[in-house]
Structure 1
Amino acid sequence: MSYRVVISSVLLLLSFAAVAQGPAISAGISYSRDIQPIFTEKCVACHACNDAPCQLNLGSAEGAARGATKVPVYDGERSKAVAPSRLFYDAFGERAWQHKGFYSVLDAQGSQAALMARMLELGHTNPLQPNARLPEDIVLGLNRDNMCALPGEFDGYASAHPREGMPLAVTGLTDQQYQTLQRWLASGAPIDEQALVPSAKEALQVVQWENLLNAPGSRESLVGRWLFEHWFLAHIYFKDGEPGHFFQWVRSRTPTGQPIDLINTRRPNDDPGTQVYYRLRPVQGVIVHKTHITYPLSAAKLARVNSLFYSGNWQVNALPGYGPERRANPFSTFEAIPAQARYQFMLDNAEYFVRTFIRGPVCRGQIATDVIRDNFWALFQAPEHDLYITDPNYRGQATPLLAMPGQNDDVGSVLSLWRDYREKRNEYEALRRDSYADMPPPSWSSLWAGNDNALLTIFRHFDSAAVIKGLIGEVPQTMWLFDFPLLERTYYQLAVNFDVFGNVSHQAQTRLYFDLIRNGAEQNFLRLMPADSRDGFLDDWYQNSGKLKMWLDYESIDDNTPTALKLDEQDPKRDFAMQLLARYGELDANPDPINRCDGAYCSRPNIDPLLQAAEQALSRLASRPAAGLKVIDQLPEATLLRVETASGRRGVYSLLRNRAHSNVAFLIGESLRYQPGLDTLTIFPGVLSSYPNFMFNIPAEQVPDFVGSMENAKDPASFEKIVERWGIRRSHPQFWQYFHDLSRYIHETEPVEEGVLDMNRYENL
């Protein structure tokens, strides 16, 4: 494409964006100027993503106009999949959404005010007692049975729930905000569209990347499809782009330079039914942290992609089609692309890929998270030591065994499908075990150490999870080692192929197979341990009922082949961790002196001395079992501490409860496998969860008192005194100031990652 054509394409992109802005802002109340900021401050923390109550998403004009529905996205018991209702994807405009079963919350109903106006009035006339615990009859959390009252049902709702107006169970709107919203609603809730517009520099890069993915030729088409399937969840940003501008890859019927004609299939690898063009479109609406999985594009990345995928002489004899078989096994679908290129591409940004399936954008992830432990470290096998990369014969034997379930959602076939895929997976594990036993024993060179994505920490918070670069916290009970077959399968099973709108069969198959993936990651790691220690580790990870699961579903491990690592026989896992930190310390993006304090100083260097002293005190709470720190029993999964100095500086710390389990190998009965006496706390600077469960605001000089009170809190009554003194309850007069300060802290420390946090899980302590 010539430079002149590129420029005209860019101008066309910008002209379409300008048209999308719609009419100029009027002198009266403007949605974009006056209303959306109120929604962003007081509503988006609950009303965003798939688990927004009643699917009412107030992060954009499109979401507000779409309205609400009684149909929940999350339903673990439905026998039939439901139609997807993805904002900016499955329909556009109020009328189109009403055809899909949504109803307006903005329109007046005859003589009755709009539903939103009445909900806001109910909340405004029944304010909460400042910083008091909420009445027990107000049900909160993800198990709340949302009424999703239709306009004609509001009177009954208000009569039955007089203290459950909006915003629900939290410090409400200011008088000025309330009056502004009511005036806007009374005037018909006019909306002026303000679409995000790429800058001229961004538009040039959009064209450049679209040209890469849409280049003619069989090789180019196959690589473009593979790249799209690995980028479709990403919030793309350009290294020199505008702050706050993000883009998403979509499939379109129209090429670069024309308006996008969206192909909105359920999955990104469903049959598009037409010629496909991969397009980048701006992400619209308020950025919320839980769906904000970022990925950088740059000139260096473009060169890297070209080097990885087009430097060799590989060929494509025939392009693969679409359908269940192709979805089930991406290893055969994309087998023409060199495996080394595919794996290295994923390793370059390994944190992004692990985030897609561990943190995920689905907003409620228990379908996956109840199969993982509350904290563990993840490592990656070096490509040159991965048999799938280096040995074509092994790759040929392994590929047919790597197919994944979930493509057939027939409820009656769940068990038979599960058994078939379990047997394939175990046949693969046996092949891997026996083939690697004939290889030189693993050494330190077996671990990939290419950049700071090489060492990752995962924290689970019941039905959500977070991924952070670096090795954070005390040495965990388990570690995972990904090779290419494991990393790619996990990504496809939990990200590409997972349908949040699917039925119970699809969700069960996904969950059951992820159990096998976890077991495979653990087995990979065990090869690094001394052979005679491996059975002992398995016994620890699969206690009680877990031993039955090992016998029923898992392939036996290699407990004979030695490791080349020289490790302390008394505690080889801890010795491995310490050597790992010593060898690859320069790749550890987040050194952790608070939880792994090995000397007199348990704080970060080169920070405010008052915050250093606070960290020193907080370290007394870290990595201690609940049997000796009773307050852990009172804490939720993710608590945020805001430590403020007299000069106005502040630090933000995540206090994470790591729940212990005898095993995590079963679909149900998780509470029966809790080992609460073994729970621990991890304390680390930053916001390590999209879903704060509670906040404490502590003057820096009072942190030692806070720590002492936590150490001495033996029962709920003593913990309540801590909450009374330092806690920020939902009813706190400055709740929103403190809550959004967490996002401001992210902006100051990792600006690309900033987004509005979610308070659906904020507890009533």
Structure 2
Amino acid sequence: MAIRALLTAVLLLLGGVLQAQPVSYSRDIQPILTQKCVACHACYDAPCQLNLGSATGIQRGASPLPVYSARRAEAQATSRLFVDAQSEQGWRSRGFHSVLGGGDAALVARMLELGRSHAPLPGSKLPEDLDIGIRRENQCPRPDQFDDFARKNPRAGMPFAVTGLTDGEYATLRSWLVQGAPLDGQPPVATAAEVVQVADWEALFNRPGAREQLVARWLYEHLFLAHLYFDRGSSGHFFELVRSRTPPGEPVDVIATRRPNDDPGTRFFYRLRPIQGVIVHKTHITYALSPRKLERIETLFFAEDWQVEAVPGYGPQRRANPFATFAAIPAQARYQFMLDDAEYFVRTFIRGPVCRGQIATEVIHDHFWTLFQAPAHDLYLTDAAYRERVTPLLALPGVQDSLAQLPLLWRESKANRNAYEAARREAYSHTPYPSWSHIWAGNDNALLSIFRQLDSASVRKGLIGAVPQTLWWLDFPLLERTYYQLVVNFDVFGNVSHQAQTRLYFDLIRNGAEQNFLRLMPPEQRQAILGDWYQDGGKLKLWLDYEGIDAGTPSGLRLPADDPKAAFAERLLERYGSLNARPDPLNRCRDARCFRPQASPAVQRIDQRLSALAARPLSQLPAIEYLPEATLLRVELDGGGREVYSLLRNRAHSNVAFLLGESLRYQPEKDTLTLYPEVLSSYPNFLFSLREGEVNAFVAALQQARSAADFEMIVRRWGVRRTHPQFWALFHDLGEHIREHEPVEAGVLDMNRYQNL
């Protein structure tokens, strides 16, 4: 107690000295928040909606209303930073309370002091009864409630359940609060070169004419979530596409509709404005703009002579069926635009403002590959009569969110989707049998790998990991429906009816993508493959909810009957090797040379040794049972620098066809481990850090671990617990690794899911 009192006195004295030298928010405070707070306080899953990535966010303050709720009967008012209110008073009227008022007694100050007075023991495991999960109760005390809150929750101070601020950081923050928490700084400004390109793109989007405006509207609905950048991102600036009441050349006055395809209610202009605040990896969905992309849009959308008399309205039916709304735009142009940057579009399904995606991720397997149907062999593009016949069946649910009508709405959606699948199956049975030419191979977006980590997921170009249990083959209707269902039409603030309809329909989309892939398999093997994907209760779901597969039309591929899926994967890797953006010698080692050929000899030796863990099932590597979904491994090299690897636990399921009871469908004995030399998750669950000379011992320890006690010894020796004295430096080094290798993709990683191992 005496030491703490002395330390407090020193800090207050230091604060008094600093008070004579005004603290700058932008220079002194935001870097501390970025280093110690943004990893939890960003996006909609920030505790109490307190977003600490910008001055605007901390000025907005906190709200007791959680964004993520599976129980609300009515849609919640939106609370999007930089969108739904433009002033502190505007946020107060929306129920947000200040965390800065009161100077030294501000809520932020008291939360920081509570955190310091109950700091966890360095290097220790947190108490088991301390709930650090993302579903813990959202407690958001106001200043007048704080004393009672602190008495009941002494370990809930900030930073929460993690190594805290240094003495200098704490003193700087306290001095700033004593000075009245002044906020300064300016939003990023486009460079001269960016100004010119912004003008070019705004000119494209705001061209007069019904045809031009219909294309602009479709493009906006497909790019509104993007972090747009020019000149290969050299400036570090990113932009977003918004609808504004003001024309180009004037300050942006954003129109805050709930969804991007809602009626703006007034005359508007499409505008590009700089992204404000700290870039966080989980919402950083990048898309490159360039003169070449402008030319591509001209070629795709305006080279063909098509006309439209008037731009459609914004009613519920228009939102529900984008295929009808944008029918005048050639389908070939729409599909090809999405294929050109397929990784971006698939990434929007699983990143972005959702931040907590189990409503979608529980519908997918933990690891699968995705391919795309070639436009020349997509009947929706090539057969106008077929397109007109099936378009009404492609309407999406969720636009109407009545709880009372949920069963009726769902039955109608399911009936339409299955009628479409039946019509599709019949139509394709009269076309040439699918062969390699039917798989799109236009660029390195053609092959994608998706990994699920419980309630988050990631996508990468290339085929990573061992041959997965399932593969998806997406055509234009599948890709576009997924995008509108999970991105454009999805409302994170929506009620339980809207969320349920979204989840249930995505289940049907997944089944459609799987069925499409089965057309590539020998017809006599399709039912067996499908049965492997839908084991146990999944067979009942096949009978109740899904349209039957085509088990008769032959495939144009000549695949062996014993394991056609594995043979297909082998030939895919051979045929599309030049498009495989991420060759994987660690998980698919063929000749005992299990390392990256271009790596240094030292890194090759590390690759080779770590490959002993790659693609192993739990039966061969029992330690998988104790690993979380996304573990990061950091290896310090003797010659300087470090390598970073992702160890992803792929949980096996008997099926992923039901809304509830996922844990009942786990097959842990079939779990596998994918090991790859990149950061493959925005949400690390744990980090191991070791020196190059310890790699052999680390691998051996994991291979020999048979119990929780064995794994505990590994964590004690190499684990970076939340209480590790160097936690923040090591955690942020993962983001620095991304910045070094893919600077455009870099952003602060999220630690809300970092576990207490």
TM-score bracket for this pair, using the shorter chain length: over 0.9
- The answer as to 2:39 corresponding to 1:50 is no
CA distance in structure 2 between the partners assigned to 1:673 and 1:72 by the alignment: 29
Which one of the candidate residues 673, 681, 695 is aligned to 1:689?
Answer: 681
Q: Which residue number corresponds to residue 345 of structure 1?
A: 337
Equivalent residue letter for 2:527: D
Change (3 A) 1:162 1:178: same
Equivalent residue letter for 1:83: A
- The answer as to 2:196 corresponding to 1:210 is no
- The answer as to 2:52 corresponding to 1:92 is no
- The answer as to 2:731 corresponding to 1:739 is yes
Q: Which residue number corresponds to residue 188 of structure 2?
A: 196
Which one of the candidate residues 90, 93, 100 is aligned to 1:106?
Answer: 100
Q: Which residue number corresponds to residue 264 of structure 2?
A: 272
CA contact under 8 A between 1:44 and 1:756: conserved in structure 2?
yes
Q: Which residue number corresponds to residue 409 of structure 2?
A: 417
- The answer as to 2:322 corresponding to 1:326 is no
* Runs (5+) with no aligned partner, structure 1: 1-25
CA contact under 8 A between 1:202 and 1:241: conserved in structure 2?
no
CA contact under 8 A between 2:434 and 2:555: conserved in structure 1?
yes
Q: Which residue number corresponds to residue 691 of structure 2?
A: 699
Q: Which residue number corresponds to residue 382 of structure 1?
A: 374
What RMSD, in angstroms, separates the aligned Cα atoms of the two structures?
1.0
Equivalent residue letter for 2:400: N
Counterpart secondary structure, 2:612: helix
Q: Which residue number corresponds to residue 148 of structure 1?
A: 140
CA distance in structure 1 between the partners assigned to 2:700 and 2:87 by the alignment: 56
CA distance in structure 1 between the partners assigned to 2:234 and 2:608 by the alignment: 39
1:240: how far off?
Answer: 5.0
Q: Which residue number corresponds to residue 599 of structure 1?
A: 591
CA contact under 8 A between 2:22 and 2:179: conserved in structure 1?
no
CA contact under 8 A between 2:450 and 2:460: conserved in structure 1?
yes
- The answer as to 2:73 corresponding to 1:73 is no
Counterpart secondary structure, 1:621: coil
CA distance in structure 1 between the partners assigned to 2:360 and 2:446 by the alignment: 23
CA distance in structure 2 between the partners assigned to 1:561 and 1:636 by the alignment: 42
Q: Which residue number corresponds to residue 9 of structure 1?
A: none
Q: Which aligned pairs between 1:420-459 and structure 2 lie closer than 5 A?
A: 420-459=412-451
CA distance in structure 2 between the partners assigned to 1:604 and 1:499 by the alignment: 42
CA distance in structure 2 between the partners assigned to 1:350 and 1:170 by the alignment: 38
- The answer as to 2:33 corresponding to 1:39 is yes
Listed one character per residue, the Cα deviations across residues 135-192 of structure 1 (whole Å, up to 9, x for unaligned) are 1232102121121111111111211222221100111100000000001011110001
CA distance in structure 1 between the partners assigned to 2:322 and 2:246 by the alignment: 26
1:241: how far off?
Answer: 5.1
CA contact under 8 A between 1:292 and 1:361: conserved in structure 2?
no
Q: Which residue number corresponds to residue 8 of structure 2?
A: none
CA contact under 8 A between 2:83 and 2:256: conserved in structure 1?
yes
Q: Which residue number corresponds to residue 533 of structure 1?
A: 525
Q: Which residue number corresponds to residue 587 of structure 1?
A: 579
1:226: how far off?
Answer: 0.3
Equivalent residue letter for 1:93: S
CA contact under 8 A between 2:66 and 2:138: conserved in structure 1?
no
Which one of the candidate residues 371, 382, 392 is aligned to 2:384?
Answer: 392
Size of the aligned set, in residue pairs, is 738
1:126: how far off?
Answer: 2.4
Which one of the candidate residues 112, 137, 140 is aligned to 2:129?
Answer: 137
Q: Which residue number corresponds to residue 508 of structure 1?
A: 500
* Runs (5+) with no aligned partner, structure 2: 1-19
CA contact under 8 A between 2:284 and 2:352: conserved in structure 1?
no
Moved more, 84-93 or 283-292: 84-93
CA distance in structure 2 between the partners assigned to 1:184 and 1:125 by the alignment: 20
Equivalent residue letter for 1:61: A
Listed one character per residue, the Cα deviations across residues 517-571 of structure 1 (whole Å, up to 9, x for unaligned) are 0000000000000000000011100001000100000000000111011112111
- If the length of structure 1 is used for normalisation, what is the TM-score? 0.96
1:728: how far off?
Answer: 0.3
Q: Which residue number corresponds to residue 261 of structure 1?
A: 253
Equivalent residue letter for 1:28: P
Q: Which residue number corresponds to residue 181 of structure 1?
A: 173
CA distance in structure 2 between the partners assigned to 1:447 and 1:675 by the alignment: 32
1:317: how far off?
Answer: 2.0
User: After TM superposition, where is structure 1 displaced by more than 6 Å over at least 4 residues in a row?
Assistant: none
- The answer as to 2:83 corresponding to 1:83 is no
Equivalent residue letter for 2:401: D
Counterpart secondary structure, 1:412: coil
Listed one character per residue, the Cα deviations across residues 701-723 of structure 1 (whole Å, up to 9, x for unaligned) are 21111111101111110000000
CA contact under 8 A between 2:232 and 2:288: conserved in structure 1?
no
Q: Which residue number corresponds to residue 462 of structure 2?
A: 470
1:131: how far off?
Answer: 1.2
Counterpart secondary structure, 1:143: coil
1:628: how far off?
Answer: 2.5
- The answer as to 2:270 corresponding to 1:294 is no
Q: Which residue number corresponds to residue 24 of structure 2?
A: 30
CA contact under 8 A between 1:594 and 1:619: conserved in structure 2?
yes
CA distance in structure 2 between the partners assigned to 1:402 and 1:360 by the alignment: 25
Listed one character per residue, the Cα deviations across residues 402-425 of structure 1 (whole Å, up to 9, x for unaligned) are 000001100011111001010000
Equivalent residue letter for 2:24: S
Equivalent residue letter for 2:416: K
CA distance in structure 1 between the partners assigned to 2:563 and 2:235 by the alignment: 47
CA contact under 8 A between 1:611 and 1:643: conserved in structure 2?
no
CA contact under 8 A between 2:233 and 2:744: conserved in structure 1?
no
CA distance in structure 1 between the partners assigned to 2:712 and 2:429 by the alignment: 56
CA contact under 8 A between 1:351 and 1:456: conserved in structure 2?
yes
1:242: how far off?
Answer: 4.1
CA distance in structure 2 between the partners assigned to 1:594 and 1:649 by the alignment: 21
CA distance in structure 2 between the partners assigned to 1:348 and 1:759 by the alignment: 33
CA distance in structure 1 between the partners assigned to 2:21 and 2:189 by the alignment: 23
1:360: how far off?
Answer: 3.6
CA distance in structure 2 between the partners assigned to 1:435 and 1:235 by the alignment: 39
Moved more, 128-137 or 290-299: 128-137
Which one of the candidate residues 580, 588, 611 is aligned to 1:619?
Answer: 611
CA contact under 8 A between 1:610 and 1:701: conserved in structure 2?
no
Q: Which residue number corresponds to residue 312 of structure 1?
A: 304
CA contact under 8 A between 1:640 and 1:694: conserved in structure 2?
yes
Listed one character per residue, the Cα deviations across residues 614-661 of structure 1 (whole Å, up to 9, x for unaligned) are 111111111121123211110100000001111222100000000000
Equivalent residue letter for 1:404: L
- The answer as to 2:151 corresponding to 1:159 is yes
Listed one character per residue, the Cα deviations across residues 335-377 of structure 1 (whole Å, up to 9, x for unaligned) are 0000000000000000000000133431000110000000000
Moved more, 432-441 or 144-153: 144-153
Q: Which aligned pairs between 1:461-500 and structure 2 lie closer than 5 A?
A: 461-500=453-492
CA distance in structure 2 between the partners assigned to 1:716 and 1:163 by the alignment: 26
1:264: how far off?
Answer: 0.4
Equivalent residue letter for 2:742: E
Moved more, 64-73 or 350-359: 350-359
CA distance in structure 1 between the partners assigned to 2:299 and 2:132 by the alignment: 52
Counterpart secondary structure, 2:89: helix
